[in-house]
Structure 1
Amino acid sequence: MHETVSDRGSPVEPLDTGRGSRGAVAAVRVVVGMLWVANSGWKTPPDFGQDTGTGLFRFTRYAVEHPVFPPYTWLVDNVVLPNFVLFGYAVLLLEAALGAFLLVGLATRLWAVLGMVQTTAITLSVLNAPDEFPWTYYLMFAAHVVLFATAAGRTAGLDGLLRPLWHRSDGRVARILMRVS
């Protein structure tokens, strides 16, 4: 293993990039993808719980009933709730896509960022709600940071298989895919 030297003159070993490390990152990617798929399963159209005050509607209302960040509370109360069915479909689509793309490891860095954004929105909705464990959301956010930082789809994912093709291509889509993978 190649050693580098820190500013203080002591040896610094680079991060382990062996098979075990790559396998662990791939496993985290798949588990996080499965989490999003499972999470999208209880968001049920056509009203997403609006008529009964359950499901996604209930958890979205928490942002108003147990506010965390006043501008977010205002957004939920004045934009999201009046357009709730449209919001419900957008959430369902986003979370199902997060799960699918992370499972197969395609455009993983893009989906990791979207996962951070969605996790932040969820956190701002439920952080002060009764019976919520805040560390759940902090760990979920941290998992997405790891997926982004390690480009997790490059190991046992489609990003790793397709990057050589994208690299050889002069097309705009290929350049974009290189950046988000």
Structure 2
Amino acid sequence: MWIQNVGWKLPPNFGRDQGTGLFQFTSYAVEHPVVPPFSWLVQNVVLPNFTLFGYATLLVEFSLGAFLLAGLLTRFWAAIGIIQTLAITMSVLNAPNEWHWSYYLMLAVHAVLIATAAGRSAGLDGLLRPRWRTSSTRLAMLALRAS
């Protein structure tokens, strides 16, 4: 789902010129506020720096899809997925024609990925954890916790 949704977040302007795409959905946080401090943040920080925000969103969502699909550092990326889902939810929950249940489902799926450490049985985490466990490097210890 994350990788598929990257397809409509098109650089270099991410829909800013036409008022569509990522720009439109981000603007919903101001037009249809869910949490007023979040709306203030979007209006005063995100929208003035929208190109940087667009590239960051593109990178995070593509990484989410790629790492979760590969089952690499699954728990870490599932936690990032929860944070990203909450940010999306705060932007569009009050917007017209939104499927509210889809955001709750996204949160639930990421919570299950954290709870079950899915990458350990069907992903690269399962292949790499034995090596990380025997290594004493700081990076291996972080990867072990993030898997």
Q: Could you state the TM-score of these two structures normalised by the residue count of structure 2?
A: 0.99
The residue type paired with residue 53 of structure 1 is: G
Match of 1:81 among 47, 50, 54: 47
Query: Match for residue 102 of structure 2?
Result: 136
**Aligned partner letter, 2:52:** L
In the TM superposition, what whole-angstrom CA distance separates every residue of 1:42-76 from its partner, at most 9, and x where no partner exists? 10000000011000000000000000000000000
What whole-Å deviation, never above 9, does each CA across 1:9-60 have from its counterpart, x for those lacking one? xxxxxxxxxxxxxxxxxxxxxxxxxx00001111000000001100000000
Q: Which of the numbers 128, 132, 150 marks the counterpart of 2:116?
A: 150
For structure 2, the 5+ residue unaligned runs are none
Q: Which runs of 5+ in 1 are unaligned?
A: 1-34
What is the CA RMSD across the aligned residues, in angstroms? 0.4
- 1:118 maps to what in 2? 84
Please, which of 6, 14, 17 is the counterpart of residue 51 of structure 1?
17
| Residue deviations 1:118-144 (CA, integer Å, cap 9, x gap) | 000000000000000111100001100
Counterpart CA distance in 1 for 2:18 and 2:38 is: 24
SS at match of 2:63: helix
Cα separation, 2, equivalents of 1:114 and 1:40: 16
Q: Which residue in the other structure is 1:71 paired with?
A: 37
- Identity value in percent: 67
Q: 2:75 aligns with which of 105, 109, 128?
A: 109
> AA paired with 2:87?
A
Q: Which runs of 4+ in 1 moved over 2 A?
A: none
Task: Write the deviation string for residues 132-171 of structure 1: whole angstroms up to 9, x where unpaired.
Answer: 0111100001100000111110011000000000000010
SS at match of 1:155: helix
More helix by share: 2
Task: Tell me, in whole angstroms, the C-alpha distance in 2 between the residues paired with 1:121 and 1:143.
Answer: 16
